[in-house]
Amino acid sequence: MRGLAQCFGILSHGLPSVALPQGADNFGNGAMMAEAGTTVHVAPDQVSAEAITAALRAVMGHPGYRQRAEHAADEMRAMASPTDVAEMLATRFGPKP
């Protein structure tokens, strides 16, 4: 996992995932996605072929992971675009004289 952008990229397609954090914000992002039920988080000290196989089987074998990931994707699609947010801010706060 390469950070928040990749987390959102995966979720924006409604796909569950396996998080193998390596540094920086990967740990928090993986934990957040696991808490949301879209990801199985495998900690660095738990990485093994067996752990990764079990994680993959979990996300592929339990439809709840996919359903929650699809729900997250729906929520993301419903969010205002950056352009819409900029327009709302300009309307609300406008240029100062």
Alpha-carbon gap, residue 29 to 33, rounded angstroms? 6
Mean pLDDT for the stretch of residues 4-16: 79
Which residues, at least 6 apart from 21, have a Cβ–Cβ distance to it below 8 Å? 1, 27, 29, 30, 41, 43, 44
**How confident is the model at residue 32, as a pLDDT?**
86
pLDDT tens, residue by residue, 46-79: 999 999 999 999 999 999 999 999 999 999 899 9
pLDDT average, residue stretch 6-26: 83
**CATH number assigned to the domain with residue range 4-93, chosen from the 4 options 3.30.70.260, 1.10.10.10, 3.40.50.2000, 3.50.50.60:** 3.40.50.2000
* CA angle centred on 30, ends 69 and 6, rounded to 5°: 70
How far is it, in rounded angstroms, from Cα 64 to Cα 70?
Answer: 10
> 72: closest CA among 46, 19, 33, 40?
33
C-beta neighbour count of 94 within 10 angstroms: 8
Task: State mean pLDDT over 19-33.
Answer: 82
- Min mean pLDDT across 4-13, 24-33, 58-67 is at 4-13
- pLDDT over 90 at 40, yes or no: yes
State the pLDDT at residue 1: 42
8-state DSSP, 23:
S
Check residue 89 and give its pLDDT.
Answer: 92
